[in-house]
Structure 1
Amino acid sequence: MTTDVFEPLAGLEGVGSAARAARDAVDVLLRDRGLRKVGADMTAEALLRGAHASAALAGSPATLDEAREGSADPLVTGAVRITGELMRLAPQVDTAPVQVWTRLHQLAGADLGPEPTLGHLRTSREPVPDDIPGLPPAPPAEEMWERLSALGKALSQPSKAPGLVVAAIVHAELAVLRPFPTANGLVARAAERAVLVARGIDPVAVTVPELGHWELSATYVPALNDYTARGLVGVRDWLLRSCEVVALGAERSPLAG
């Protein structure tokens, strides 16, 4: 018998209604604009804006125009590089999640470290990464591997939880575990986006959830700290924040004008 680990989290106080409200915000955007009228150029623009916001959250000083023009900033180039493959990778998040995450790291970290480290899950013989300032130390490699494996297994099982909840947990786990030597924040946010696409929340990727995270950046690291330290209360608060992020991402869509 398989266990749906996400469904109980969706039942935490306030999460179900917040997830429905966020989903409604996305659905209104897509319905008003007409899903079939969304072209590849609009998806590309939304992904670019998301890449810039994700890089900014990781510390990049580049502007959106610089990102658009091909900034040399390694965080921006990595985030933008992800946009070229995200729609192809998204359908694989439920069948080969670890492979998706390692590919995201290959793309995100190409200008941040030597080639042998790209897509490489850290081991106990390597330094613990500290690339998301403000978080407590990442767990040892053995714990990271165990939790990453459990997350991958959970994604491969059917779940009654809203896709938004699943995406938020994937984001938080990757950010907290920091499985890669670099670019863990970029990977975590791209992985969240991929789940939102794969689970039908935003199948054409025209919302900009990364911009929601950036606009709420003052609570980003504190919410991840609470996710780690405060048990189900922290998880609930992270999920409620994630619902707000998705609703903001719909407002910031290029489709919205």
Structure 2
Amino acid sequence: MAPLLELAEVRDAVDAARDRVDTALRHRALRRQGGQVAAEANLRAAVASAALEGHPHEREAVRDGTVTDPVMQGALRVAGALLDLADRWPKAPRQVLARLHVLAATGSVAADDLGRPSADPAGAARLDTLAGLVAGGTKAPPLILAAVVHGELLALRPFAGPSGLVARAAARLTLISSGLDTRGLLAVEVGHLAREPEYVGAAGAFASGTRDGVRSWLRHYTAAVTTAADELVQISDTLLSTRQ
């Protein structure tokens, strides 16, 4: 995947996003309030991911526990499990994907379909290739690998029901397990939702497999990560101000 960095403007976008992330992760609120920041980031990530799946809900209603929508509940379960799954992700990516689907789709699809990817041979081959990349088959930067994981899973939709929840979670797992975001503080889903038309269009462009389509997706993904870094700063600033 190294040539992806050489697509027009991609390397600069990756470097700029990484710099913004590094700055956000140095926020002083994270020294003592990291747990609260992580909880808020996960809530926002889950709400955004459910909205992208066509199930929008008010954040405060979700926080209050009054939303029983199974897709929203699945998004919350997924967000809460990421840190526990991070170590297994590069070792057994297909098993982790199955687990993510169980978490995401329980209550939304038939029990027999949970954790079971499509039997389509072409899709299975692409899923195997993707699993090989996650398991160490590339030296591409974490942001590039996460974007490819996300884009491929959106294109393949290997699971029944809210497969997008799985794609977005797998991308975040890539950022966590790679060391870029070890505490799972980047709610990248918020960045995707802030640019939802672009998200949908760029994902479709990526699925086309053209150079311009892949470039469009990579540019979108780095922009979403940048937005997530800004969101992290906003959460941290708010918690710091309420503590003073």
* 2:20 counterpart of 1:41: no
What number of residue pairs does the alignment pair up? 235
Give the whole-Å Cα distance in 2 for the aligned partners of 1:158 and 1:142: 21
Name the counterpart of 2:170: 191
Give the whole-Å Cα distance in 2 for the aligned partners of 1:54 and 1:246: 14
Find the partner of 1:54 among 49, 52, 72: 49
Contact 2:27–2:236 under 8 Å retained in 1 = no
Gaps of 5+ in 2: 239-244
Give the whole-Å Cα distance in 2 for the aligned partners of 1:216 and 1:180: 25
Name the counterpart of 1:132: none
3-state SS in 2 of match to 1:31: coil
Give the whole-Å Cα distance in 2 for the aligned partners of 1:256 and 1:162: 29
Contact 1:29–1:256 under 8 Å retained in 2 = no
Find the partner of 1:106 among 102, 116, 132: 102
Name the counterpart of 1:138: none
* 2:111 counterpart of 1:115: yes
* 2:233 counterpart of 1:248: no
Name the counterpart of 2:90: 94
* 2:182 counterpart of 1:203: yes
Contact 1:211–1:249 under 8 Å retained in 2 = yes
TM-score by length of structure 2 reads 0.91
Name the counterpart of 1:164: 143
> Is the alpha carbon distance of 1:239 and 1:256 closer, same or farther for their aligned partners in structure 2, counting shifts above 3 Å?
farther
Name the counterpart of 2:125: 146
Name the counterpart of 1:84: 80
* 2:199 counterpart of 1:220: yes
Where do residues 228-239 of structure 1 align in structure 2 (5 Å cutoff)?
228-239=207-218
More helix by percentage: 2
Give the whole-Å Cα distance in 2 for the aligned partners of 1:176 and 1:196: 20
Deviations, residues 89-120 of structure 1 (Å, cap 9, x unaligned): 11222111111111110000001012111111
Contact 1:53–1:211 under 8 Å retained in 2 = yes
Contact 2:108–2:161 under 8 Å retained in 1 = yes
Give the whole-Å Cα distance in 2 for the aligned partners of 1:20 and 1:34: 24
Give the whole-Å Cα distance in 2 for the aligned partners of 1:169 and 1:240: 12
Percent of matched pairs sharing the same residue: 40
What is the alpha-carbon root mean square deviation over aligned residues? 1.5
Deviations, residues 61-115 of structure 1 (Å, cap 9, x unaligned): 3111122122111111000011221101112221111111111100000010121
3-state SS in 2 of match to 1:93: coil
Give the whole-Å Cα distance in 2 for the aligned partners of 1:236 and 1:196: 19
3-state SS in 2 of match to 1:150: helix
TM-score by length of structure 1 reads 0.87
Give the whole-Å Cα distance in 1 for the aligned partners of 2:137 and 2:158: 25
Name the counterpart of 2:241: none
Find the partner of 1:21 among 16, 21, 44: 16
In the TM superposition, residue 32 of structure 1 has moved relative to its aligned partner by: 3.0
3-state SS in 2 of match to 1:202: coil
Contact 1:172–1:224 under 8 Å retained in 2 = yes
